[in-house]
Amino acid sequence: MSLSRFRGQIVLAADICLIFMFNFLLFLPSLLRRDIHLINLVLHIGLLTVCVLVFQLVFRTYNTLWRYAESREYFVLLMGMSLGFLLYSGVNLLLGTERIWITQALTGSSLALLAMLVMRFVYRTYRTKITSRSAEGRSHAAIIGAGAVGVSLLGELVNNPQGRYIPYCLVDDAPDKVGKRVLGVPVLGPINDLRELLQNTPVTEIILAIPNLSPRRQTEILRLCAATNCRLHILSDPMSQLKGEKTSLAASVREVQIEDLLGRQAIQLDNCRIKKFICGKTVLVTGGGGSIGSELCRQIAGYAPRQLVILDIAENTTYDLQNDLLHLHGADFPLSVEIASVRDRKKIDRIFAKYQPQLVFHAAAHKHVPLMENCPEEAIKNNVFGTYNTASAAKKYGAEKFVLISTDKAVNPTNIMGTTKYLCEQVLQGLRAGSRTEFAAVRFGNVLGSNGSVIPLFKKQIAYGGPVTITDKRIIRYFMTIPEAVQLVLEAGSFARSGEVYVLDMGEPVHILDLAEKLIRLSGYTPYVDIKIEEVGLRPGEKLYEELLTQSADLRRTENEKIFVEEKPIIEESDLKDWLEELAAVVETGSRQQIFQVLHQLVPTFRSPEDVNREAIQAVREGQAAHLEDLALVQNV
């Protein structure tokens, strides 16, 4: 049987022995000279021991795990001994005993207290050495930030010898902290010297524990961490930890997330406006099991809809989303799930007749560019005709608003996916005439973290040991996160008037090569040494540089400075039906050559990516684009 169950009793017995031993030794000369009697000595030592133990038990000293003890625990031990001695002295004064007993007992108690402290220090040192020997599988970590959050995290790591991290140092910019020690761990600095500070040390992990960092400073620190080839982790939402929303800081240490790599703050939109827009209404989300659709459903559920209807053909992801929503919002949450395809016009009509949705968010689409290049007929069936079926049902059953999830690839498209999305936007313009339903589209760029996007692919390739593949080292893209994209959709939906296309100002472009190198470094590896980066060539339909959407002269700002709107001209419904019939006929033939010919006729701006990329490269060579931001504009020249 383990002795750990009786730890408190063992320490109690040791303290009794120490008090008895030191006091007996002090009185031993008097006992040998027979100045005192043995029975009196035993009674006095017994009284002193009882008085001391009364206060130690009151203060629950023996419930302390001494290997984790700090100054408070040692102070309580001192208080218990002092108060115990005072009680003993009071009893002796009341009994009128000689002062020699009190004087000798003071010396004996002091020596016993010193021995008790030494015993506890020795035990703590022994435990620390034992656990450090069993540090297999644990990593030495440097904590960036010696403020309240960093020190609190350090305390947890120090007191958890079985945890993942062994604290090696704190790194901070404050001159009054650098050179000091906290819980035995040195504070180094400044942060800008991080690479030099960690050279020739066993540190393999870095934990960023500074709250309220500006995006610019966070980007700088990420760059410094990347230069060390240590794996970086970040303490998520540290201020909420301090407020007690979670009990463990160490449990909130996470890997670098997509948002951390953006180099800007996440865009926050008007939640009050969105709540007013959604609260109490029946909302239908098509493609609800996908990356964008599922986040739409999660955010909509937080705004108290009267009913949320999820429609998707993919049952597995939709089932997972259903379980998540019911777990978060309770079994009584008004949720309905329909497994159906937007291609099935009759089924879509029955669903609209059943639920009579007031708001429709149409996220169902085929979106993978290379796959759609090889299967253009499927992109047309799902994207164009699926949008037509859903939008027509919304118009027929009097939905208030229909919001299409579109893409920046619909602007001057160079691929089938972008071309079909352009036609989806045109479908809305053909259905608006005489409709109570307001049709609008929301157009945004690449969504970090969505299924099939570049970050999950890079992470998977890094986990496999490489290589990380990029199509072309010159590629730049504009990025937003899934929550940002969904907030844009919801707020734009609240603005929406028929015929409008909403666009998000996505800030600065990002080099995909830089993104790959940074992710490799922050995963603790060296690019081109530990993990190779291979250039595999542009995929079918892929551009080197995406359009800078907010530079169009046709755009105007909305109430939100990050959201722009473009008004598109109406299309006669007869013209819409004519080109839909033409598309349907060519899809039935199965001839991809004919499909491409018809698409080029319907979308005059549809050009081959080779032509667009050739012009962009030539423009760069001729010096027409002095800055990277300009590269996104040259396709319009």
Range of the domain at 163: 139-255
**Helix/strand number for the chain, H first, E second:** 23, 22
Is a pLDDT exceeding 90 seen at residue 380?
yes
Residue 7: pLDDT band (50, 70, 90) is low
Q: Per the domain annotation, does 391 fall within a domain? A: yes
**Per-residue tokens: 435:** 């409709």
Q: Per the domain annotation, does 334 fall within a domain? A: yes
Distance from first CA to last CA of the chain, Å, rounded?
Answer: 82
Domain boundary among 133, 152, 187: 133
User: Are 389 and 525 spatial neighbours (Cβ–Cβ below 8 Å)?
Assistant: no
pLDDT the model gives residue 627:
43
- 248 and 280 housed in the same domain: no
Residue with tokens 């800008």: 192
CA distance 207 to 226: 12
- 72 and 172 housed in the same domain: no
- 151 and 120 housed in the same domain: no
Q: What is the mean pLDDT of residues 149-159?
A: 83
Q: Which of 231, 225, 218, 264 is nearest to 510 (CA)?
A: 264
Any idea which of 126-130, 277-281, 431-435, 503-507 has the lowest mean pLDDT? 126-130
Q: Which of 479, 399, 456 is nearest to 432 (CA)?
A: 399
- 64 and 191 housed in the same domain: no
Q: What is the mean pLDDT of residues 538-563?
A: 68
Q: Could you tell me whether strands 438-444 and 555-557 are parallel, antiparallel, or unpaired per DSSP bridges?
A: unpaired
- 41 and 150 housed in the same domain: no
- 229 and 291 housed in the same domain: no
CA distance 473 to 540: 16
Q: Per the domain annotation, does 208 fall within a domain? A: yes
CA distance 379 to 368: 10
Angle between helices 416-431 and 386-396 (to 10 degrees): 20
Q: What is the pLDDT of residues 434-459, one digit of tens each?
A: 899 999 998 877 766 665 567 778 88
> Cα angle at 292 between 286 and 298, to 5 degrees?
85
**Per-residue tokens: 515:** 């993104």
Global pTM value: 0.66
Total domains, the chain = 3
pLDDT the model gives residue 630:
42
Residue with tokens 């300009």: 630
Residue 629: pLDDT band (50, 70, 90) is very low
Residue 624: pLDDT band (50, 70, 90) is very low
- 127 and 150 housed in the same domain: no
Catalytic residues: 409
- 105 and 164 housed in the same domain: no
Specify the 3-state DSSP secondary structure of 390: helix
Is a pLDDT exceeding 80 seen at residue 397?
yes
For residue 340, is it left (φ>0), alpha (ψ between -120 and 50) or beta? beta
Domain boundary among 96, 116, 133: 133
CA distance 26 to 107: 8
> Cα angle at 460 between 459 and 466, to 5 degrees?
90
pLDDT above 90 as % of the chain = 30
Is a pLDDT exceeding 60 seen at residue 494?
yes
Q: Per the domain annotation, does 265 fall within a domain? A: no
Q: Could you tell me whether strands 231-235 and 203-208 are parallel, antiparallel, or unpaired per DSSP bridges?
A: parallel
Q: What is the mean pLDDT of residues 188-193?
A: 92
pLDDT the model gives residue 637:
28
Q: Per the domain annotation, does 144 fall within a domain? A: yes
User: Are 116 and 77 spatial neighbours (Cβ–Cβ below 8 Å)?
Assistant: yes
- 423 and 543 housed in the same domain: yes
Is a pLDDT exceeding 90 seen at residue 393?
yes
- 226 and 321 housed in the same domain: no
Q: What is the pLDDT of residues 461-477, one digit of tens each?
A: 888 888 999 888 888 77
Question: Which CATH number is 376's domain given?
Answer: 3.40.50.720
pLDDT the model gives residue 444:
77
